[in-house]
Structure 1
Amino acid sequence: MSEAESGPVFSRPSAHVALIELNRPQSANRLEPQDLEVLRSHIDECESSADVRVLVLAGRGNYFSAGFDLRALADGLRSGVRFDGADSAFEAVANRLDSSKLISIAALNGPVLGGATDLALACDFRMGSSEVFMQMPAAKFGLPLYAGALQRYVSRMGLNHAKRLVFMAERVGAQEMLDMGFLTALVRPSEVMAMALSQAAHLATMPPKNMAALKQVLNASALGEGTAVSQREVLARAFDPEAILQNIAASQAARRKG
């Protein structure tokens, strides 16, 4: 292979933007248990940095990701691991990405399988190419999906689409992924990363405190919790009259120059 495979790779492609790339292309970017630890560590690092506002998640090679390594899953089952409805390591990473104050973009350069579908749904935007397809085969194996994934399937795509994708375990192509809401944009294969980074650069110009508050309440609204007192308080804390006036003045100055 041309490059050594490793856990997820972190880089900073532009101001206020972080890029995390899954780096097991010879294995369809299947995620091993240690990869989940590295991925969560990178997300924590991004969120703790005052300089990072937008996170792009991508996969190197021809796949975005084939999900959790089934060999590791089988080893766990043989060793007596039981399903009790509690958060798994995979769910913990997806939940962490979903709840992050950072705006996130999944750059889907290729197939998205199994748990990787939930990592993509945990992102705020999902940009895919015409070569993308997705499949959630858990039901075929008799494997109950963790609750966070089911919740994201329903909140992003609606109950009917979620039931079809989860129950049927069928392969779905790019245009249908766009139509049902899995993808938020569909571009040419050669443009996926460039468009994701361009969108990230644009999002990074937005006031971060306000963006974080809007994201939190929008996500809560998808679960019917958007008007709760706690969510109203989040919006109230993000209201900064001085910063708003400065942003308006900057926008007007830019229009005059243009």
Structure 2
Amino acid sequence: MGATAGGHRMTARVRSACVGGVLHVVLDAPQRRNALTREMLRALAALVAGVDESVTALVISGAEGAFSAGADFGELTGTSADISYDDDVAAVGEALVRCPRVVVAAVEGPCIGAAVDLALACDVRIAGRGSYLQVPAVRLGLLYNPEAIARWSARLPQDVLRRMLLLGERFDDAEALRVGLVSQVVERGEAVTRAVDLLSAITTEERVALAATKQVLSALERPGFDPRPWADPRRHLLDSPARAAAVRRAKHRHGRSEDDHDGGRR
């Protein structure tokens, strides 16, 4: 069931509420710093995949000052059986990448391991001061999911990727911003507020164009991008009523700015 405007849901310690078209998704296991259980991952994947027409954008955050400490170690065996946990993490990442809405990760406090995977699958990452990102996979004796590494490689410089994966380096908010792991840094506790501010301008009329643009950006991260299949969708959008209305509004705004500039004399 998709999230509906004004609706509140909680499943497997994943809370959601849609306010003003923005779906707020909260990882809500604060006693474990929002460590991710399989149940939470599956609930999150289903929630993201099931957004309905009332939702214009999503913000993902963690409860009580922590984004997520990563994998819940109670879910892991220390054997190859843990590949199934990686599969659940990958399913959330795939849902986020495929989601036709803009998804913002609002990161406060720790964002570790699997949580970094989720954050990097979002379109934008806003970090509160005092937050940090870290992937200590090698220290735990494992090769992180190669599919995730391939996706990160398309988004991050190789130097950053090697520091993160080989050294397990902790990137504080300032360094994460400098190297491109996060998009903006705001005051502690303000990440969700800033995310909502960024998303408030998105209208329902923009959804089709936004979804198509996000699909192109995702396709660019895979080898062998071919722009030709996008010719027809682009032409369809150019001829759409929503685009015509947007151009009319832009012309109106432009006309008003000219009036203001010359004192309204025409």
TM-score, length-normalised on structure 2?
A: 0.84
In structure 1, distance between residues paired with 2:153 and 2:231: 24
Equivalence map 1:17-32=2 (5 Å) = 17-32=22-37
TM-superposed CA distance for 1:251, in Å, is 2.8
Q: Deviations over 1:40-64 (max 9, x none)?
A: 1211221xx1121211101111210
Q: CA deviation at 1:68?
A: 1.5
Could you say which structure has the larger radius of gyration? 2
SS at match of 2:126: strand
Give the match for residue 105 of structure 2.
106
Provide the rounded CA distance (Å) in 2 between the counterparts of 1:136 and 1:215.
26
Which structure 2 residues correspond to residues 1-258 of structure 1 after superposition, within 5 A? 7-14=13-20, 16-46=21-51, 49-74=52-77, 77=78, 81=81, 83=83, 88-204=87-203, 207-254=206-253
Paired amino acid for 1:10: S
**Offset at residue 222 of structure 1 (A):** 2.8
User: Do 1:210 and 1:239's aligned partners in 2 also have CA atoms closer than 8 Å?
Assistant: no
Whether the aligned pair in 2 keeps the contact of 1:155 and 1:222 (CA below 8 Å) is yes
What's 2:261 paired with? Answer: none
Bigger RCO (CA 8 Å, 6+ sep): 1
2:59–2:192 Cα contact (<8 Å) kept: no
SS in 2 for 1:112: strand
| Structure 2 residue matching 1:189: 3-state secondary structure | coil
Identity of aligned residues (%): 25
Letter of the 1:81 partner, please give it: A
C-alpha separation between the residues in 1 aligned to 2:203 and 2:113? 30
Query: How far does residue 148 in structure 1 lie from its aligned partner after superposition?
Result: 3.0
Change (3 A) 1:148 1:203: farther
The ranges of structure 1 where at least 4 consecutive aligned residues each deviate by more than 6 angstroms after the TM superposition are none
Structure 2: distance between partners of 1:56 and 1:82: 28
Unaligned segments of structure 2, at least 5 residues: 1-9, 258-266
Greater alpha carbon shift after TM alignment, 200-209 vs 132-141: 200-209
Which has the higher mean CA deviation after the structures are superposed, 152-161 or 30-39?
152-161
Give distance in 1, aligned partners of 2:251 and 2:116.
42
Letter in 1 for 2:66: Y
Quote the Cα distance in structure 1 between the aligned partners of 2:232 and 2:140.
Answer: 44
Give the alignment's Cα RMSD to 1 decimal: 2.5
Code of the aligned partner of 1:122: A
Query: Relative to structure 1, is the Cα distance of residues 206 and 112 closer, same or farther in structure 2, using a 3 angstrom cutoff?
Result: farther
The alpha carbon displacement at 1:95 in A equals 1.2
AA aligned opposite 1:213: A
The aligned amino acid for 2:102 is I
For structure 1, the 5+ residue unaligned runs are none
How much does 1:256 deviate?
A: 5.5
Q: In the alignment, is the contact (CA less than 8 A) between 1:31 and 1:69 conserved in 2? A: yes
**SS of the counterpart of 1:62?**
coil
- Number of equivalenced pairs: 248
Stretch deviating more after TM superposition (202-211 or 19-28): 202-211
User: Do the aligned partners of 1:129 and 1:187 also contact (CA within 8 Å) in 2?
Assistant: yes
SS at match of 2:226: coil
TM-score (norm 1): 0.87
Task: Give the C-alpha shift of residue 159 in structure 1.
Answer: 1.9
Distance in 2 of aligned mates of 1:200 and 1:230: 29
1:225 Cα offset (Å): 4.1
